[in-house]
Amino acid sequence: MKRILFLFALLILLGAQNLIAAKADSCLFVQLDLANRWIWRGVAYSEAPVIQPSLGFESDKLFVSLWGSYPFERRAYGEVDLILEYQLFPQLKIGFTDYFAVNDSMGARHEFFDMKRETTSHMFDAYFQYQPFEKIPVSLLYSVWFWGADRDEETLKQNMSSYLELKFEKEYELFTASAFAGFTPSKGFYASKAALVNLGVGIEKPITLGGIITIPAKVELVVNPETQNVYINAIITLN
């Protein structure tokens, strides 16, 4: 637990330093994403369209956000997350996310302040994103859920579920193209063994309505080779 508090305190201190020294290009933001399904790291979290609001602060080094996801269906799974990211070096970004799972139904008790590791619905994730090449738009993400709800049902020990993703993303004149491959190195949340769990390609292109309003839109083809599931996901962003 001491290591958890140390990591969290470090990110807060780095964030406070940047907030104090914020430049003119720093900004507060409000964003709203709409998607036909919620697909993340090769796993589907909804059977219906979702609305995903977020608000936060972003500067050249710091990103802080409160993010949520709510499906257009009754008694469904929702989520409220706190995200902290810091650009430690030009090629290295570190981050921390507190994922909080929500039983999104009337009368449900969320138990947000339950921070006992064996019963909490919070889940802490530490990750880094590394861009090894200056001129090649390739990045490597490593993430580990190190505390909270990612635990063995019988022993209550942490699964320490890990995820690695290699991603290519490049801006062209009319659109942005991406391709990604995600892998889990051991048994955990993503698979019962080491497995390739998330393959996909995407195209992001603004949609112009009436020649006046421009809305960012993305379409992704996502395949989970381990479960043999396939999804086509469409997302539009309002900000």
Mean predicted confidence (pLDDT) in 36-63: 95
Give the number of other Cβ atoms within 10 Å of residue 29's Cβ: 12
- The number of folded domains in the chain is 1
pLDDT of residue 197: 98
Does the pLDDT at position 75 exceed 90?
no
3-state percent breakdown (helix, strand, coil) of the chain, nearest 5:
10, 55, 35
pLDDT of residue 39: 95
pLDDT of residue 34: 97
**Sign of the dihedral through C-alpha 43, 39, 60, 170:** positive
Mean predicted confidence (pLDDT) in 16-39: 74
What is the CA 88 to chain-centroid distance, rounded? Answer: 19
CATH code, domain carrying 137: 2.40.160.40
What is the CA 209 to chain-centroid distance, rounded? Answer: 29
Which comes out higher in pLDDT, residue 203 or 103? 203
Map residue 233 onto helix, strand or coil. Answer: strand
Mean predicted confidence (pLDDT) in 179-189: 97
CB 105 within 8 A of CB 75: yes
Among 15-19, 26-30, 153-157, whose mean pLDDT is lowest? 15-19
Does the pLDDT at position 15 exceed 90?
no
Mean predicted confidence (pLDDT) in 219-223: 98
Give the number of other Cβ atoms within 10 Å of residue 55's Cβ: 14
Place 1 in a pLDDT band, splitting at 50, 70 and 90. Answer: very low
Helix (H), strand (E), coil (C) string for 133-155: CCCCCEEEEEEEEEEECCECCCC
Place 186 in a pLDDT band, splitting at 50, 70 and 90. Answer: very high
CB 61 within 8 A of CB 84: no
Mean predicted confidence (pLDDT) in 65-77: 90
Identify the CA nearest to 87 among candidates 61, 60, 57, 64. Answer: 61
Mean predicted confidence (pLDDT) in 169-188: 96
Place 26 in a pLDDT band, splitting at 50, 70 and 90. Answer: low
Among 38-52, 82-96, 202-216, whose mean pLDDT is lowest? 202-216
pLDDT tens-place string over residues 84-139? 999 999 999 999 999 999 887 777 889 999 999 999 999 999 999 999 998 899 99
pLDDT of residue 4: 45
Does the pLDDT at position 21 exceed 90?
no
Determine the structural domain holding residue 132 and report its residue range.
Answer: 2-238
Identify the CA nearest to 83 among candidates 162, 21, 143. Answer: 143
